[in-house]
Amino acid sequence: MHAPRFTLPLAIAAFAAACGGASEPKDKAGGATAAKPGAASPAVAGSSSASNAGPADAAVQAAIRKALAERIPNMPPIDEISRSPIAGLYEVRYGGTEILYADAAGDHVIVQGAIIETRTRTDLTEQRMEKLLAIDFAQLPLKDALVIKQGTGARKVAVFADPNCGYCKRFERDLAALKDVTVYTFLMPILGPDSTAKSNAIWCAKDGAKAWRAWMIEGVTPEAAKPGCNTAGLDRNLEFARKHRINGTPAVVFEDGTRKPGAIPAEALEKLLAQASRKS
């Protein structure tokens, strides 16, 4: 399960959300979080913070204040703008102790490890990670998934889910309301022994897809798996998830390879499905 990517105060929270930073209530069991900037380069590592400390030039301060005030709704008053140890990067302090970093023009800010382009409110870090983490839908091991066809089943979506994941249950209701879609559910028991037991029971049921929906939507506990049932498919799901850095549930893969973590709101889900269908 996933926790929100950004938990920012006041206007910055709104700004991050506008950029898509909190796209899911990610109730998380080990989250698929975006990589944060790594260690400084040799040039940066060798720079002296003492030599770069101090207020930014007046022109730079004016540019940053103007850009952030115009592009971040209800931006709190900025307390000060200082040079950072990295050339061209400025520390913006607001609300007493809150900090973000900006370039000299205020066109880009760094918020909790993510680079956001302020003109379009695009999360460039998330955008890059989506490309790196994309999964070729054709390479999904569909034989290891529960398959539910709704309507014509023309559109396709894959979901990695844990039976005890609260957000997975909420998301399942939205999935069940979709029209003309085939849902491939990969059981991914990561929340403890009971999740494994329930996944085994559902996988081994006469109609696994029906047992899955009954449990996730209606709360009908599946009958325990009978001895000797082959659950190797679940092991393969976990291995696939590890290989592709799927660390939390729900995780969603669309036909065009786009991958999204968390319980995507119904309207956004429909939009992503339509977009994926056009591209595939």
pLDDT of residue 51 exceeding 60? no
Residue 280: predicted pLDDT = 63
Q: What is the spatial distance between Cα 32 and Cα 42, in angstroms, rounded to a whole number?
A: 29
Please name every residue paired with 253 in a beta bridge, in sequence order, or none if there are none. 158, 259
> Cα dihedral sign for 90, 95, 97, 99?
negative
pLDDT of residue 247 exceeding 50? yes
Residue 176: predicted pLDDT = 97
pLDDT in tens, 193-202: 999 999 999 9
pLDDT in tens, 269-280: 999 999 998 876
Q: What is the spatial distance between Cα 85 and Cα 241, in angstroms, rounded to a whole number?
A: 39
Q: What is the CA radius of gyration of the chain?
A: 23
Cα-based torsion angle of the residue sequence 246, 252, 257, 260 in order, rounded to the nearest 10 degrees: -80
Q: What is the spatial distance between Cα 20 and Cα 14, in angstroms, rounded to a whole number?
A: 10
* For residues 214-242, average pLDDT: 96
What residues contact residue 147 under an 8 Å CB cut-off, 6+ apart?
Answer: 182, 183, 184, 185, 209
pLDDT in tens, 115-167: 999 999 999 998 898 888 889 999 999 999 999 999 999 999 999 999 999 99
Q: What is the spatial distance between Cα 206 and Cα 191, in angstroms, rounded to a whole number?
A: 24
pLDDT of residue 63 exceeding 80? yes
Please name every residue paired with 78 in a beta bridge, in sequence order, or none if there are none. 94
Q: Which of 18-32, 43-57, 253-267 shows the highest mean pLDDT?
A: 253-267
pLDDT of residue 43 exceeding 60? no
Task: Report the 10 Å Cβ neighbour count for 55.
Answer: 12
In the chain, domain spans: 10-25+33-130, 137-279
* CATH 3.40.30.10 fits domain 137-279: yes
